[in-house]
Amino acid sequence: MMGNILSAEFFKLRKERVTKIVFVINLLLAVGLSLMMALMAYHFGEDILGVVQEAEQGMMLGADVEAMFAAEAVNAPATALMLFFQHIAVLVTILAGVFICGEFDTGTIRNTLAVGKCRVKYYLAKVITAFIAAMIMAIIATAIYAAVFAAYFGLEVPEGYAVSLLWLFGANVLIYLTYTSLFVMLAFVFRSMVATLVVSIAFVTLAEAMLLMLLDASFMERFAFISNIFPYHNLMVFVNSFSEGHDMQAWLTAAAICALTVVVTTVIGAFTFAKRDVK
């Protein structure tokens, strides 16, 4: 039964015009930003290295431009996760908002439930469908960024790199599952495309960053632990774990918080959908 619901959801998502638009935008942004970053590093490498050295209080780092950006090529997957998460989160918001709220408006969800489909399974199918779309976009963007930097600066794979990359991929899964479950919940709670898009995009692009800055301020130090609940905070934990050496405790803590967020948002969304009438 669940397999049939998922098949139907994937079919509908593929047929949606907004899906094609979102994937094209993701591709163009990934190519454009990757080339821009690589070209800046390639043409202004000496200046960038000088800024880094000056930031280190004038200490000579003993690194040349080629070595510096060869290291950047190795860390390209982690950099891509940090750079692209926001635009992918916004695209997933658009996809979920249009896909779900549009079906509320057209009566598609009402007609689907009328044939006896389980609401919880139907809700989970929406989450899974949107999440897989998010992961495909994340993989495409990461692969493009890594390929561009490897082409410009080469890539010498260090020992243990495959294991670190596996942990980073696990972080990708958790981060995008967290955002997807949140956006799908909002779509089912609001049932309004405008409200879903405004709240979700504002959270990712503005509110989340501002709240984290506030929590890092000195007068909020007592409440700094609250920052752990934000996906962006856990994203940075995952990126630092990949770039600076794997910290198992920090990674597992961030992963547990992401998993708990997914469970809570999914329960709220499914409960709301199960208890409210669909007109």
- pLDDT mean over 1-24: 88
Within 10 A of 243 (CB to CB), how many other CB atoms are there?
A: 17
- pLDDT mean over 185-203: 93
Say yes or no to pLDDT of 60 above 70.
Answer: no
Say yes or no to pLDDT of 126 above 50.
Answer: yes
Q: Chain-wide mean pLDDT for the chain? A: 83
- pLDDT mean over 39-63: 55
Among 49-53, 69-73, 77-81, 132-136, the range of highest mean pLDDT? 132-136
pLDDT of residue 218: 58
Structure tokens at 176: 């995008």
Lowest-confidence segment of 98-102, 244-248, 267-271 by average pLDDT = 244-248
- pLDDT mean over 60-74: 61
Structure tokens at 91: 């695209």
C-alpha 235 chain-centroid distance: 8
pLDDT band at 159 (very low <50, low <70, confident <90, very high): confident
The whole model's pTM is what?
Answer: 0.85
